[in-house]
Amino acid sequence: MTTYLLAGGGTAGHVNPLLAVADRILQRNPTDTVLVLGTREGLEARLVPDRGYELLTIERLPFPRRLGRAALAFPGRFRRAVAQTRGYLVDRKVDVVVGFGGYASAPAYRAARALGVPLVIHEANARAGLANRLGARYTDRVGIVFPETRLRSSTVVGMPLRREIEQLDRALSRPDAAKFFGLDAAKPTLLVTGGSTGARSINRAVFDAIDSILATGWQVLHIAGNGSELPESPRANYHILNYCDRMELALAAADLAVARSGSVTLSEFAAVGLPAVFVPYPVGNGEQRYNAADAVRVGGAILVDDAAFTPEWIRATLVPLLRDRDAVERMSMAISRVGSRDGADRMTDLVLGAAR
């Protein structure tokens, strides 16, 4: 019987693949134990217990980007997080640590190295984050999604996807999806989403251009995000939700999407053949633009800067695309070429190999 500590969290991009691997480990070996290391503030604080896993927490510890009080306090706070994590590894007799990036990962990597516990890493983005660049120095088991990701000893495993996405047949599920959202199953559907917290710039541009979009004969399913400031829908065939806990049905209902290009979103779209207009998040290290590069290269997606995604751009570029159903279908076939559905199995193979 093996005990695994899976470390990561903060955003869905870290939590969702972590949970997909956790589920797959126990599907293969039901007597094993999976623990999760995260923070009290991240998305993992809700999603991990909801999935039935025990969450061990440490302090949320973002790396300081500039000199100041936080930077001066960081080394001591980091050492305390590492010490606390070492205590978890010893007390719970952890056999393997698996990191997915995010605030909890770097302390887990240091603690695993100090105790000689085997370490496995998954990097979801084309441009690796700081924690995983650190952790990759300590292990020869690193799984990546994009071949161009520069991490030592890395193997392309793909994105670990939720079972609902792995098994999704969009055509077969479309009638049920339309009924679930109150859509017309005979109309083409544009899905708009900025993730669980939404994307204000995407929301406002689509809302302001909605008449032009609807004039093409398409309907819109707009998942605006928690805390969205959008008013109620002003038109028929324009459906606004603040949150969606059945994203597999949203993907089944859609023919084209407008979205951020986070790695999980992009991987899910590619796996099920949903073409997209990607509007990369303009803050961070630019990973979302790199994530979308392959989908754009093969013709399965369009990339537009956040500042350029305006009602005028929608009318000039998106509306003509919506009027060309053949072009949308060609994009669907193209994005499928860069998608895969076996990331959870391939990453789990890497993890189980470390336990032998």
Do 284 and 157 lie in a common domain?
Answer: no
User: What is the arithmetic mean of pLDDT over 122-142?
Assistant: 94
Do 176 and 151 lie in a common domain?
Answer: no
* CB hemisphere CA count around 247 (13 angstroms): 24
How high is the pLDDT of residue 197?
65
**Is 60 or 248 the better-scoring residue by pLDDT?**
248
User: Taking Cα atoms as reference points, which of 287, 278, 328, 284 lies closest to residue 308?
Assistant: 278
User: What is the arithmetic mean of pLDDT over 102-123?
Assistant: 95
Residue with tokens 């010490």: 83
Do 176 and 126 lie in a common domain?
Answer: no
pLDDT at 319 over 90: yes
Q: What's the mean per-residue pLDDT of the chain? A: 93
Element (H, E) at 240: strand 238-241
Do 34 and 148 lie in a common domain?
Answer: yes
pLDDT at 227 over 70: yes
Do 70 and 197 lie in a common domain?
Answer: no
Q: What is the pTM of this model?
A: 0.91
Do 174 and 152 lie in a common domain?
Answer: no
How high is the pLDDT of residue 203?
94
CATH code assigned at 148: 3.40.50.2000
Of the given ranges (22-26, 63-67, 268-272), which has the lowest mean pLDDT? Answer: 63-67
- Boundaries of domain holding 90: 3-161+341-354
Q: How far is CA 255 from the centre of its chain?
A: 20
